Every structure is written in structure tokens, then in C-alpha cells.
């Protein structure tokens, strides 16, 4: 982190004056520990940098900690809340919904909780989707399922109509679970609410299986994605070793960032080449991927390649671009492209290969979360409830330096995290694979 001037102030709807009901949970040594807005979590924990800033009279950038407050803004007995999930599927969505509902009901006694069907479309009357009433009974077992019980959708909807629905239904807190596009929409919704002078809190829970949300160390679903990806790598490795000149090719998720590909490579160290969006590579010529692959086959008789879906998009320059409903550029299929180019390369050289291509992406997205992600989702969901009840808005619940924190949504606009080509993760991946630079060498 290098920005000394991050504005991490969290917007609030008003002064919280109602004693929190969560204090009544405590018995003996289990009394609730409240957190204060005055407590801070440093963003940059580099000692020399922080000390220098303090010496210069500059407060180091820091986050407000997440957690229950001693006083809250909303009266829980009169509060109505709504949850909405948007974008692609991700392991842990049902866990987030479950933890929010359970904390609202048992922690604060909120009587009315609505689940919005099929993303932002559920707010728009012309689509005709009914709201689901959520309770502990309806969510008790949903964490055992994959997918998302509320459904989802992509694409923008009219912000004014969404706020009209919130106002008409007398919703006090809206929990929005989604990725970059959803968080942008959440900011617009929060701004419109404040412009109208309404008392509605908007709290985001960041969702991206790629783990690339800016200023957030970890997002839910990533741990599950890495775990399942290692099984795909193991299968590809077994296939490759089972045939002369066997090649296992696995395409993993990662539109703009290669965290899943690099981390899975370290978790299952059967990979010989890992390709990510942040690091350029060539196909042809001395030192390119095809040349390095030929040397690997000549030396060991098999090879395993992992490629993130956003890697190598330069090879499709000049082709027409398509957009999805959310306005994102549809990536070209680097996995099938590599399979075809590898096959043609060795065919031209009269070298017989056996290549097996595996794309587990949609299987991973729709699976239930693993144990680590379930615990992580529980923290995210419950801290989202604490923030909303305290009257905080236009924020998301993030994880930074092993703390759960409040992050202003506007800090994330147009930015994302990337694998550092000079950092420990990528260096370790290179050490595990032993791969060369994969660029032209003259």
C-alpha cells in the first residue's frame, strides 16, 4: 500500500443512541466485546513507513474495525431488512445469506427479512419476482447446497426504481452481495438514498472467486476454488503421466488476476507451466511456451500446464469484442486456443502427443463452500449485520491484515488487486514449476 491519503471515513445515517441488544447474550466469561470507531486497523503495517508518517504528523491510513457497537442506530423491533445477490455464482453465497439472517434474528431480534429474487431485477416491478421471507427455519440447511437460493442475475437496472422499491417496502438495511459491478451499483444506490434524505443503510459483502478486490486481502469462495482446482491439477497430472508425451492442460478462473492459478500451483506441485494475466508470455520462438514445452517433453515425457482464463488475451487482438449483460468484455477462450496451437505445433514436427484439456470453472462456482470458507463467510455476514444496525452505509466488510474492517465502497471504484510479478506468491510459483521466462530469447 503506497497511498498516504486514502479517505477511509465511513458514512453514517445518524448518531447511534439505542443500546445494542447483543449485550444480553453474555453469560459469565462470554460477555460480548464491543468495538469502537476510535479503534483503527493500520492499512500499511510496515514499521519504518508508519513511524515516518507519525513523525511527520501524518496519521497512517487505517480502517475502522468491524464488529458489534455498544449503541446502534436502528430499532431492531421495527426494522425491515433485505438481501440481494448479484453476478456469477460463487461457493459461500448461501453461507453469507444464512449468517446474515441468523445474526439479524437471534442477535438483534429483527422480525422481517426479505430475500430479493434474481439480483437487482427483483427490485423492478415489471419483472414480477416476489420477495422471499427469510427466517432461521428457511435458511437452516442452505449452507449444505451449492449455488444460491435467491438466484442471481447480471446487468444494470434503474437505480431510481430500486430506491423506490426500498422506500415503498420501508426497508431499513440493504445487504448487497456481489463483485465489482454490484459494489458500483451499491454506491449509486447509497448516494441516491442520501440525496433523497432517506434513512436506509447499504452494506456490501464483496464476492469474487478470483480474490482480486482492491484493498481486501481475501474474498469468500477463493479457498474452495483453490482446493477443487488442485483436484483438477492432480487429474491432469495423472492423465499426462499415463501416456507418451502426455500433456495436461487446465484452465482456471482469473479474468484479470492469477491468484487461483498461482495458489493452486503451489498447493498441488505437479505443474510445469503456470500462465496468469499479470505476466506476459510468448508462444512461438526460442524461449516461448511451445519451445519450452517441447524441451520438457523431450526431458521428462509429460507436462502439466495451468492457465488463468484472462492470460494470453493478446493473442486475440484484432478480433471483435463482445460484452456480457454487465458490460464486461467477454474473454476469448485461451484454454481451447492453447490446446489447438499445441496440437498443431507438435503435429507439424511429427511428434505424437496426448493432450487432455480440463475446464472445471462452472463446477467450482456452483459447489458448496469448504470448511474454511464457511467460517470466513460467517464472519463476513455477521459483521455486515453489526455495521448495518449501527447505521453505517456505503461500505463493505473486508478482511485486511487478519482483521475484519469497514471499507468505503468508493475506494474500490475502477481498481482491483493483482498478483505482483515481483512478489512472494509469483516467485514461489516459479520456484515450484521451474519454468523459464517464456518470452523470446535472442
User: Would you please indicate which residues are annotated as catalytic (active-site) residues?
Assistant: 210
DSSP secondary structure code for residue 37 in this structure: T
Residue 133's DSSP bridge partners are 114
**CA 58 from chain center: how many Å?**
32
What value, to the nearest 5°, has the Cα angle with vertex 175 and ends 171 and 179? 145
Q: How many residues does the chain have?
A: 442
Rounded Cα distance, 194 and 189, in Å: 9
**CA 300 from chain center: how many Å?**
37
Residue in 301, 292, 201, 186 with CA at minimum distance from that of residue 241: 301
Rounded Cα distance, 65 and 406, in Å: 6
Neighbours of 141 (CB within 10 A): 10
Rounded Cα distance, 309 and 364, in Å: 14
What value, to the nearest 5°, has the Cα angle with vertex 417 and ends 367 and 326? 60
Where are the alpha helices (H) located in 169-203, listed in sequence order?
180-195
Helix (H) or strand (E) holding 387: helix 371-389
Sign, CA dihedral 364-367-372-378, equals: positive
Q: Are 390 and 72 in contact (CB under 8 A)?
A: yes
Rounded Cα distance, 411 and 394, in Å: 11
3-class DSSP state of 306: strand
3-class DSSP state of 267: helix
Amino acid at each position: 500500500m503506497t497511498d498516504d491519503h486514502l479517505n477511509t471515513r465511513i458514512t453514517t445515517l445518524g448518531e447511534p443512541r439505542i443500546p445494542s441488544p447483543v449485550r444480553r447474550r453474555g453469560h459469565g466469561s462470554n460477555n460480548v466485546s464491543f468495538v469502537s470507531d476510535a479503534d483503527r486497523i493500520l492499512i500499511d503495517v510496515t514499521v519504518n513507513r508508519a513511524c515516518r508518517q507519525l513523525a511527520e504528523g501524518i496519521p497512517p491510513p487505517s480502517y475502522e474495525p468491524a464488529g458489534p457497537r455498544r449503541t446502534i442506530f436502528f430499532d431492531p423491533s421495527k426494522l425491515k431488512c433485505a438481501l440481494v445477490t448479484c453476478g456469477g455464482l460463487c461457493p459461500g453465497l448461501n453461507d453469507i445469506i444464512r449468517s446474515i439472517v441468523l445474526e439479524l434474528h437471534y442477535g438483534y431480534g429483527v422480525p422481517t427479512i426479505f430475500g430479493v429474487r434474481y439480483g437487482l431485477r427483483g427490485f423492478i416491478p415489471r419483472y414480477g419476482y416476489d420477495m422471499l421471507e427469510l427466517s432461521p427455519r428457511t435458511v437452516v440447511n442452505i449452507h449444505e447446497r451449492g449455488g444460491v437460493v435467491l438466484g442471481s442475475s447480471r446487468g444494470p437496472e434503474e437505480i431510481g426504481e430500486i430506491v423506490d422499491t426500498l422506500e415503498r417496502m420501508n426497508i431499513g438495511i440493504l445487504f448487497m452481495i456481489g463483485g465489482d459491478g454490484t459494489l458500483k451499483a451499491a454506491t449509486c444506490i447509497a448516494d441516491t438514498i442520501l440525496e433523497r434524505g432517506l434513512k436506509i443503510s447499504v452494506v456490501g459483502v464483496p464476492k469474487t472467486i478470483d480474490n482480486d478486490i482492491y484493498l481486501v486481502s481475501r474474498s469468500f469462495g477463493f479457498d474452495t476454488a483453490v482446493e477443487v482446482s488442485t483436484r483438477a491439477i492432480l487429474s491432469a497430472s495423472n492423465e499426462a503421466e499415463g501416456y507418451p508425451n502426455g500433456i495436461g492442460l487446465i484452465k482456471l478462473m482469473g479474468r484479470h488476476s492469477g491468484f487461483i492459478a498461482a495458489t493452486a500451483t503451489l498447493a498441488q506441485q505437479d505443474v510445469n507451466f503456470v500462465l496468469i494475466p499479470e505476466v506476459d508470455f510468448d508462444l512461438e520462438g526460442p524461449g516461448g511456451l511451445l519451445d519450452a514445452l517441447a524441451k520438457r517433453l523431450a526431458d521428462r515425457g509429460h507436462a502439466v500446464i495451468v492457465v488463468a482464463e484472462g492470460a494470453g488475451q493478446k493473442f486475440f487482438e484484432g478480433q471483435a469484442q463482445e460484452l456480457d449483460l454487465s458490460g464486461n468484455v467477454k474473454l476469448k477462450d485461451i484454454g481451447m486456443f492453447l490446446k489447438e496451437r499445441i496440437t498443431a505445433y507438435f503435429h507439424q514436427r511429427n511428434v505424437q502427443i496426448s493432450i487432455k484439456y480440463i475446464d472445471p470453472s462452472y463446477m467450482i462456482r456452483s459447489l458448496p463452500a469448504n470448511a474454511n470458507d464457511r467460517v470466513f463467510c460467517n464472519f463476513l455476514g455477521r459483521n455486515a449485520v453489526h455495521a448495518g444496525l449501527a447505521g453505517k452505509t456505503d461500505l463493505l466488510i473486508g478482511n485486511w491484515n487478519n482483521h475484519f474492517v469497514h471499507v468505503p465502497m468508493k475506494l474500490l471504484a475502477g481498481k482491483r488487486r493483482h498478483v505482483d510479478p515481483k512478489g512472494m506468491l509469483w516467485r514461489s510459483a516459479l520456484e515450484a514449476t521451474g519454468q523459464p521466462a517464456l518470452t523470446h530469447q535472442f
